[in-house]
């Protein structure tokens, strides 16, 4: 190969010297110029030389293009990798921000729900207490009425007379005091 490259270089030098000897034409085509340069050589050799030269240029262009493509691939892979890393970092940061935002909202909602539940429980407890008190009074009233009726029945049988409400109350109070002194309630 080196020998052929040297011979090509020598031919170029020789052609340049020959061109200096030829007078340039005013309006000539590229083909005319090529033929003038190589006026002593046969057209096949000219075409062969041109073909070799074109092959060399194409080969160099292909090699350079492949090199550029390889560099571009490496560069693209690095860019894609960097963008993937940046994208992952951004997604993590966005997720963190949304989690913080929604955590704050959840905390506020939790406090609101707790407050409403506490108020609701308090209201429900008060309602139940009132209902219990009403039921208790109602039951005590029924029991008081039943006691009065029983005391009247007993008084009727024992004393052969009925007692008024004041008399029934006095008897009940005296009975309770006597039961307390005897320790009935301490058991």
Q: pLDDT tens digits, the chain, 187 residues: what are they?
A: 455 556 666 666 656 555 555 444 444 566 566 555 555 556 677 677 777 887 888 888 888 888 877 777 777 777 778 888 888 888 889 888 888 888 888 888 889 999 999 999 999 999 999 999 999 999 988 988 888 788 778 877 877 777 777 877 887 788 888 888 888 777 5
Does the model's pTM come out above 0.85? no
If phi over 0 gives left and psi between -120 and 50 gives alpha, with beta otherwise, what is residue 160? Answer: left
Q: Which residues of 134-163 are buried (b: 16+ CB within 10 A; e: fewer)?
A: eeeeeeeeeeeeeeeeebbeebeeeeeeeb
Does 176 reside within a domain? yes
Does 35 reside within a domain? yes
Does 153 reside within a domain? yes
Does 162 reside within a domain? yes
- Split into its structural domains, the chain has a count of 2
Does 111 reside within a domain? no
Alpha-carbon distance 87 to 98, whole Å? 16
Does 86 reside within a domain? no
Does 170 reside within a domain? yes
- What separation in angstroms does the CA of 23 have from each of 18, 26, 28, 33? 10, 10, 12, 11
For 137, the domain range is: 128-186
């Amino acid at each position: 190969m080196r020998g052929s490259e040297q011979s090509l270089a020598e031919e170029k030098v020789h052609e340049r010297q020959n061109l200096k000897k030829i007078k340039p034409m005013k309006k000539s085509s590229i083909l005319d110029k090529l033929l003038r340069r190589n006026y002593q050589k046969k057209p096949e050799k000219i075409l062969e030389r041109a073909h070799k030269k074109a092959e060399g240029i194409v080969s160099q262009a292909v090699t350079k293009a492949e090199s550029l493509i390889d560099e571009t691939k490496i560069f693209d892979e690095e860019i894609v990798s960097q963008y993937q890393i940046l994208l992952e970092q951004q997604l993590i940061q966005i997720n963190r921000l949304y989690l913080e935002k929604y955590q704050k909202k959840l905390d506020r909602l939790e406090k609101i729900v707790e407050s409403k539940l506490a108020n609701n429980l308090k209201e429900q407890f008060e309602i139940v207490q009132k209902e219990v008190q009403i039921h208790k009074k109602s039951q005590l009233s029924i029991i008081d009425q039943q006691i009065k009726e029983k005391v009247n029945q007993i008084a009727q049988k024992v004393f052969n007379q009925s007692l008024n409400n004041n008399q029934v109350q006095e008897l009940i109070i005296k009975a309770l005091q006597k039961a307390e002194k005897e320790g009935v309630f301490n058991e």
